[in-house]
C-alpha cells in the first residue's frame, strides 16, 4: 500500500474528528481509491513525513505528498481523471471555493465554540496542553469562556444552514443529483460537530438533517460508522 | 429584433433596479446576445405577454418565453452552447443554486429592509399602493417599521459578505478566473442596493467592493452606467 492518509486523532486513535480530514475521507471514497489511515495526534503532526506539514490531512500517494483537503481534491481529480470527478468541471471547482469559505466563516467558528471542551476532553495530556495554549492564544479567551459562548451557538446553529436548506428544495445535493466535493466540505463541518460535542442542532425532519443522513450513508455508511466515543 | 427583456422599472422608465433582472442583463451580455429592453412597472407585469408571468425578468427569444433569472441562464446555455458558458459545467450549475440561495437568504432580506422606502419613492402612485400593500402583508409590518429595522442592517451588511471576501483571496471571481452566472447573482443584490438606497455598505478597499467594481466595468460599464436617480 503506497497511499497513506494522515488523520487527526484523539487519545483514542480510532476517534478521528477533523472536519478537513473527513472531506478527504469522502473524496478518496468518491474516487474509489484505497488507502491506509495513519492516526496522528496534534503534537505529532510536525514530525510526520520529515516535518513537511503543520496540518492534516496530509496524503502520501506513492512519491507525492499533498496537504490541505481542497488541494488533495484537486490533486485527485488531476491524477485520476477517469474516476468520478469531485468538482464537475471548472465552474464547480471555482464555486467550491465559495462554499469552502462559506462553511469556514459561517459554521466552523460556531462549532469551535460549541465543541471546544469536548475536543479538549478527547485528547491525550500533551495534546490537551498544546490545544489549550494554541486555541486560547488564537481566540483570546480561555477554553471555558469560549465554551460558555458556545451555548448560545447551539440554538442559533440551524439558522446558519438556511442557504443549504432552501437549495435542497431544488436538488438533493450541493453537487446536484449526486454529491461532489462541495457536499463533503459542509459534511465535514457537521461530522466534526457530531463526533465531538454530539449535540443535536438539527430536527430530524430538517432537510439539512436528511441531506447529512444521505452523506452518512455513502459508501456503506463510511461516515455513519465513525467512532463516536 | 425578436429578443425582448421585460425589466422592472420605476416611475422613470430608465431606472431599472430589480436584482433578478440585473442577473439576466449580465447573462445576456455574457452570451453576447442583443435584445431590446421593455420597461415594466410592478402593476403592469400581469398584463405582459398575455399574462404569462407574475414576475420579471421575462425573456422572449423568438417564439420562446422564459421566466426567472436562473431558468433564463439555463435556457441561454442550452440554446447558445457555442457562446461562453454561464455555469462552467454541471458542477457549476448545481453550485450556483447554493449561491443563489445564499444570496437570497443572506443579502436580500437585509437589502429589502435598507431600501424599502427608497424603492417606494421611485414608483408611480399606482405602483406605490401595490408595493405598500403587498410588502406590508408579506412582511407583517408597515414600510416605515421595516425601514427602521433597516438602519441596523446597514452597519451589519459588510459582514454578511465574509464568505465572498475570504474567497477573493484565492480567485478574482466566484466563477474563478472570469465571472460566471454565480457572480451575477451576487452582483444583482449589490446593484439593487446601489440603484435604490445608494448607501455605502462597503469600504473602498474592501475586496468585495473591488470585485463589485470589476463586475460594474464588464461590457463597457454596463452595470456602472445604469441610471441612479
pLDDT digits (tens, 9 = 90+) for B77-120: 999 999 999 999 999 999 999 999 999 999 999 999 999 999 99
Whether the Cβ atoms of residue B43 and residue B126 lie closer than 8 Å to each other: yes
Mean pLDDT, chain B, integer: 97
Q: Do B166 and A104 touch (CB under 8 A)?
A: yes
pLDDT for A191 equals: 98
pLDDT tens, A179-210? 999 999 999 999 999 999 999 999 999 999 99
First to last CA, chain A: 29
Residue ranges matching CATH 1.20.1050.10 in chain B: 90-221
| Torsion angle defined by CA atoms of residues B185, B189, B195 and B200, in that order, rounded to the nearest 10 degrees | -130
Domain B90-221 classification at class level: mainly alpha
Q: Do A163 and B102 touch (CB under 8 A)?
A: yes
Q: Say whether domain B3-79 belongs to CATH 3.40.30.10.
A: yes
Contacting A with CB below 8 Å, chain B residues are: 85, 87-102, 104-106, 162-164, 166-167, 170-171, 173-177, 180, 182
Classify domain A90-117+150-221 by CATH architecture: Up-down Bundle (1.20)
Whether the Cβ atoms of residue B76 and residue B31 lie closer than 8 Å to each other: yes
pLDDT for B228 equals: 87
- A88, A163, A176 ranked by CB distance to B101: nearest: A163
pLDDT score of B1 more than 60: no
> Cα–Cα distance between B142 and B145 in angstroms, integer?
5
**Percent of chain B at pLDDT above 90?**
97
pLDDT for A229 equals: 76
State the pLDDT confidence band at A1, using cuts at 50, 70 and 90. Answer: low
pLDDT tens, A33-76? 999 999 999 999 999 999 999 999 999 999 999 999 999 999 99
pLDDT for A2 equals: 86
Residue ranges matching CATH 3.40.30.10 in chain B: 3-79
Q: Do A93 and B93 touch (CB under 8 A)?
A: no
Please give the model's pTM, rounded to 2 decimal places.
Answer: 0.97
> Cα–Cα distance between A93 and B91 in angstroms, integer?
8
Residue ranges matching CATH 1.20.1050.10 in chain A: 90-117+150-221
> Cα–Cα distance between B51 and B44 in angstroms, integer?
10
Residue showing cell 414576475: B55
Compute and round to an integer the Cα radius of gyration of chain A: 17
pLDDT tens, B31-81? 999 999 999 999 999 999 999 999 999 999 999 999 999 999 999 999 999
Grid cell of A50 as nine digits: 520529515
**Percent of chain B at pLDDT above 70?**
100
Amino acid at each position: 500500500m503506497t497511499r497513506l492518509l494522515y488523520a487527526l486523532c484523539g487519545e483514542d486513535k480510532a476517534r478521528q474528528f477533523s472536519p478537513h480530514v473527513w472531506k478527504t475521507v469522502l473524496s478518496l471514497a468518491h474516487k474509489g481509491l484505497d488507502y491506509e489511515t495513519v492516526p496522528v495526534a496534534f503534537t505529532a503532526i510536525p514530525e510526520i513525513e520529515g516535518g513537511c506539514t503543520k496540518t492534516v490531512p496530509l496524503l502520501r500517494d506513492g512519491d507525492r505528498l499533498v496537504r490541505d483537503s481542497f488541494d488533495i481534491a484537486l490533486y485527485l481529480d488531476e491524477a485520476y481523471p477517469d474516476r468520478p470527478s469531485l468538482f464537475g468541471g471548472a465552474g464547480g471547482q471555482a464555486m467550491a471555493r465559495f462554499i469552502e469559505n462559506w462553511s469556514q466563516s459561517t459554521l466552523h467558528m460556531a462549532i469551535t465554540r460549541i465543541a471546544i471542551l469536548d475536543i479538549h476532553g478527547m485528547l491525550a495530556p500533551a495534546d490537551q496542553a498544546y490545544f489549550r495554549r494554541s486555541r486560547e492564544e488564537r481566540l483570546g479567551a480561555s477554553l471555558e469562556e469560549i465554551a460558555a459562548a458556545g451555548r448560545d451557538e447551539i440554538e442559533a446553529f440551524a439558522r446558519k444552514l438556511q442557504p443549504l436548506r432552501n437549495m435542497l428544495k431544488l436538488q438533493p445535493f450541493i453537487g446536484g443529483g449526486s454529491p461532489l466535493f462541495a457536499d463533503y466540505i459542509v459534511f465535514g463541518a457537521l461530522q466534526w460537530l457530531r463526533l465531538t460535542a454530539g449535540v443535536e442542532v438539527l430536527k430530524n425532519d430538517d432537510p439539512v438533517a436528511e441531506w447529512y443522513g444521505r452523506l452518512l450513508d455513502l459508501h456503506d455508511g463510511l461516515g455513519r460508522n465513525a467512532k463516536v466515543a
